[in-house]
Amino acid sequence: MRSRRWLWLGDPALVGVAFLLSLIGVAMIWSAGQLDVPSVVTGIWKRQALWLAIAAVVFLLVTRVPLRWIEGGSSVVYAVSIGLLILVLVVGSGPGTNSWLRYGSFSLQPAEVAKLGTLLMLARVLSGRPEPETLLSRLWRPLLLTVVPFGLVLLQPDLGSAITFGVILVAALFWARVPLFTVFMLVSPGVSLLLGFSPTVWGVWFVLVVVLMYIRRPYLLEGIAVTFANLAAGALATPLWGQLAPYQQNRLLVFLDPGRDPRGAGWHLIQSQVAIGSGGLFGQGFGEGPQKRLSFLPEQHTDFIFSVVGEELGFLGVFVMLALYAWLLRRLIEAASASSNEFGGIAVFCVFAVWFAHLLINVGMTVGLMPVTGLPLPFLSYGGSFLLMTFVGVGLAARVAAEP
């Protein structure tokens, strides 16, 4: 039986592992800055440690807020996040994108705030229904709530972050017990939009959609609407492809053919694979990775921090790290399952889905199984906005666990 002293934490073990991973992240960012050539990365771990301290304070505040207050304020968080997404399109900055709001030394990535606002609003809209929805026409509100931030983030353009909004929608609908085929019909146009950059890949997907419509035979109007929506999304993909920055286009093309541009867009993937492969069983030693020290490994403190782990700590270090992530994700599912508050359950499962998507895509892109999309690794990658919003998710999970 848990001590009453720790009841407010909900799941102290979950919180402990989250902070442990964050401390490992600070250590790996320090290691990423140990270079044989001058770099701004060298002292950046201090800023990450400061952000971790701020995130800890925010986490404590979230755990003290009752769930009914969080549910009531979800519309405010969503509205503010949409406002920030619009603002960043006007005055934002970033390498090839308009993804950051900067004021002096302070910077904020509105997409991270929007993920939180969207999952909270979806949880509010989908909770409290007597029966799960089966008709597409009755799911227009969840779809609209997701499409708006998805579209605004895609315009930045930030393809990686945009994908996570689709993940949030699928997770929310799944936990709200919406039938899987209904979820498939709802999100299939979004998949067509993402796959449209390759006519061959999109063609295979479209045939799959048509076949499933024929086999499952939904309501006639729904089947026609879904089919034409996939056609329209596939056609829209071409002009949207032109909106992507050249380096983002090359990242997707290099995923299909890593040798296409070995000194340009393919450099990230090739050097990452070399770094991870050179780690072997025990690694090169903490702070001693040669690919990293010679700055052959780009973005080693953010998108490719996993490559630093693989190079310096080896297979055993990677195994331990992934085991911690697996345990943490399992605790999130348990917290969502144990909650009698439907809003809290949906929200925590969406947090699980976001972290899992980031983990899967980030690790996958470092070994060549996923395109390089710029999604950071939860708790480990450098980034104040992401770390802060991640710990808001930890606080939300702890609060849900404390109100069974």
192-202 pLDDT per residue, tens: 887 877 788 88
Q: Which two tokens stand for residue 290?
A: 């040669």
Model pTM?
0.88
User: pLDDT tens-digit profile of 100-147?
Assistant: 787 767 778 889 999 999 999 999 999 877 777 778 878 889 999 999
**Angstrom distances, CA of residue 283 to CA of 192, 217, 280, 290, 318:** 41, 54, 6, 11, 10
Short-list 382, 368, 374, CA closest to 277: 368
- CA 22, 27, 32, 38 torsion: positive or negative? positive
Q: Which residue has the higher pLDDT, 294 or 366?
A: 366
Euclidean distance between CA atoms 111 and 169, whole angstroms = 15
User: pLDDT tens-digit profile of 248-282?
Assistant: 666 666 666 655 655 555 667 777 778 888 888 88
Short-list 107, 105, 113, CA closest to 91: 107
User: pLDDT tens-digit profile of 311-351?
Assistant: 889 899 999 999 999 999 999 999 999 988 899 999 999 99
- Confidence (pLDDT) at 342: 92
**Angstrom distances, CA of residue 378 to CA of 9, 26, 63, 366:** 20, 12, 20, 15
- Confidence (pLDDT) at 1: 44
Euclidean distance between CA atoms 30 and 243, whole angstroms = 36
- Confidence (pLDDT) at 155: 83
Residue 243: CB atoms within 10 A of its CB come to: 12
Residue 147 makes CB contacts below 8 A (sequence gap 6+) with none
Euclidean distance between CA atoms 261 and 351, whole angstroms = 36
